[in-house]
Structure 1
Amino acid sequence: MRQMRQRMVFCMAIVLTLVMTACSNNSEQAKVAADAEADSRVVGSEKGEIKIPAHPARVIGLSVVYPEFLQALGVTPVAVQNYQEEFPTYLEEPFKDTLKMGIAQTPNFEMILSANPDLILAPTWWSAKDYDQLSGIAPTVLLPQRDDWRDELKDIAGVLGKTELAEKVIKDLEAQEAEAKQKLDDLVGNETVMYMMVMPGSFVLYGDQIDRGKFLHTTLGLEMIPNFPTKDPSLSISLEKLPEYNPDHIFLQLNNEDDAGVKKTYEDLLKSPLWKNMTAVKKNQVYTMAGKDWFNLGMSPLANRYAVDAVLQAFEGNSK
């Protein structure tokens, strides 16, 4: 009888141990599942809802302007596509450890993989065709095409949970631009200003119907040359045509300082009597801006912020 009672107690102990072990395992599995859920969240994209890390640490923004949006939101990308050989002046320090992947019609999947991203952000107009390969490397959020960079910034901020910061970035820039516009009105008045870019074998003039020209002539209020066709966003002209557009001031940008064709066109321009006889040249009112620094002008808050200071410095230096 006593032995039977001992066996019963022993069996009950084994059952109790098994039950407790099962409960413990279930509890651990539930905790792991809860932790995994807490470490991720679901966001909307052009491909529907996507699960991404709650706090992504290694982010890649494809397209030449997405990295600037990320940096404006306090997220330094681990790899970027770069059109220019060097980073813009305002990104040299924050991007000192960022991988340059160059630019091509198709992303460099090998370099993206080597950067070990935990999140990829990409515009659908450029990356939809490569979505499967990109999402095989890391969660990839495709974002819609926008006409205004502010909307692009807000889209990215929504993914990163930084909507309030995006609004602050926009408001701070608007305040800086408004202050600069007032100063420039005092410095420049009604004198005419032309935005001119040096391309291989030709020159492009920008009006106020395109991002770059709109920045100078609408945002900062600088007077356009009177004979610029109002409906054209830009004009591609030869050196011989240049004197027809003869402003008081010229902002001159080399499209790409590393391009041999651009360098040759620029050198020929400086030697030309047509150029030397232009009003802005004779008055020493030509302001040369680096192609890398003004590449994303009108398309990024960081580029615009840098350009506001550059334009002010140009005119303030000229007035001394």
Structure 2
Amino acid sequence: MKRQKWVMTIGMLALLLIIAACGGSAQPAKVAEADQAATTQSAPVAETESEAAPQTRTVSTAKGDIDIPADPQRVIGLSVVYPDFLYALDIIPVAVQNYHEELPTYLRDPLKDTIKMGISRTPDFEAILAAQPDLILAPTWWSEADYDQLSKIAPTVLLPERDNWQDELRDIAEVFDRADKAEQVISDLDAKKEQAAKELDELAGDQTVMYMRVMAKEIVISGENIDRGNLIHKQLGLNPVPDFPQTESTMSISLEKLPDYDADHIIVQLDNDGPEVKERFDEILSSSLWQGMTAVKNDHIHTVNDREWFNVGMSPLADSNAIDDVLGFFK
């Protein structure tokens, strides 16, 4: 009998140990299930954060809708005016096309690390590839034939030809989702022009101004119907010479014809720093016809650097720089 009770006691203890073991393993199982539920619930949050910060944007272009980086960091501009537009929008391009060896002074410091690729009808594809762009901008009229090859390097946006730089700036701003910045740039320059026109009305009065460019083989004078002349005569209000044909935008004239367009002030832009242009200008300066003109007699010849004035009438930064120069002439 005692042996039977002892066996029963051992059996009950074993049963209690089994129950305790089962109870202990149940708790970690519940914790594991809770962890799995929490992980499942957090997944939509991560997806929502991803949707809030997309990696690409879709833009409409001359080649249809294309995807570009949401925040491009390595932009190439394939137009000599694009450095001006991009920097006006607070964008530092990684590489640009440029007409002169150096960029104008108003871009030289901020774009000191930007690759200058020169200007060529056929882009320097090797230089473009080496720059590792994540976005390429180009005007349709200049780069449409090269679109397929460019778009293999990086997403390429071809932009339409516009009648004025304001709309061209707006087009570029849309690519970068910076429409407000473009309008601010335009508004600020309009205010500067308006203030400058008031000052020049007092400083220059009825005096006449002729804007001429000296090139290797010709002299070109600009009227108010071309971008460059429009800034000088229409927007800043400086009087053109009375005999300039109203239907002409520019005229190519000989040295012998210069006295026919005698002006109180002459703004002279040398086409480049090459020896041919310098030789041509020296020929003009030594001519008795030139020396007999009113502006020359009164020391009212204002020479401007072609690099600084190259984009006048075609970009906000060049126009702003030219306004400062013109005010300086009359002050």
Shift of 1:33: 11
The superposition leaves residues 144-188 of structure 1 with CA deviations (integer Å, 9 ceiling, x where unpaired) of 110010000000000101000000000000000000000000000
Q: How does 1:79-228 map to 2 (within 5 A)?
A: 79-228=95-244
1:247 and 2:263 correspond: yes
Q: Distance in 2 between matches of 1:265 and 1:80?
A: 31
Q: SS in structure 1 opposite 2:272? A: coil
Which range moved further: 31-40 or 246-255?
31-40
The answer for the alignment partner of 1:7 in structure 2 is: none
The answer for the alignment partner of 1:41 in structure 2 is: 57
Over alpha carbons, which structure has the higher Rg?
2
Identity %: 55
Q: Distance in 2 between matches of 1:31 and 1:134?
A: 34
The answer for the alignment partner of 1:294 in structure 2 is: 309
Q: Distance in 2 between matches of 1:200 and 1:36?
A: 57
Q: Distance in 1 between matches of 2:91 and 2:162?
A: 21
Q: Distance in 2 between matches of 1:268 and 1:202?
A: 12
Question: After TM superposition, what 4+ stretches of structure 1 lie above 2 angstroms from structure 2?
Answer: 30-37
Shift of 1:201: 2.2
Q: Is the 8 A contact 1:60 1:67 kept in 2?
A: no
Shift of 1:240: 1.3
Shift of 1:242: 0.9
The answer for the alignment partner of 1:269 in structure 2 is: 284
Q: Distance in 2 between matches of 1:110 and 1:135?
A: 14
Q: Distance in 2 between matches of 1:33 and 1:125?
A: 41
Shift of 1:282: 0.7
Q: Give the aligned residue type for 1:52.
A: I
Q: Distance in 2 between matches of 1:104 and 1:36?
A: 41
Q: Give the aligned residue type for 1:272.
A: S
Q: SS in structure 1 opposite 2:309? A: coil
Q: SS in structure 2 opposite 1:38? A: coil
Choose the corresponding residue for 1:279, options 273, 294, 315: 294
Which range moved further: 285-294 or 107-116?
107-116
Q: TM-score, normalised by structure 1?
A: 0.88
**RMSD of aligned alpha carbons:** 2.3
Q: Give the aligned residue type for 1:110.
A: E
Q: TM-score, normalised by structure 2?
A: 0.85
Q: Is the 8 A contact 1:61 1:120 kept in 2?
A: yes
Number of equivalences: 297
Unaligned residue ranges in structure 2 (runs of 5+): 1-28
Q: Distance in 2 between matches of 1:245 and 1:84?
A: 30
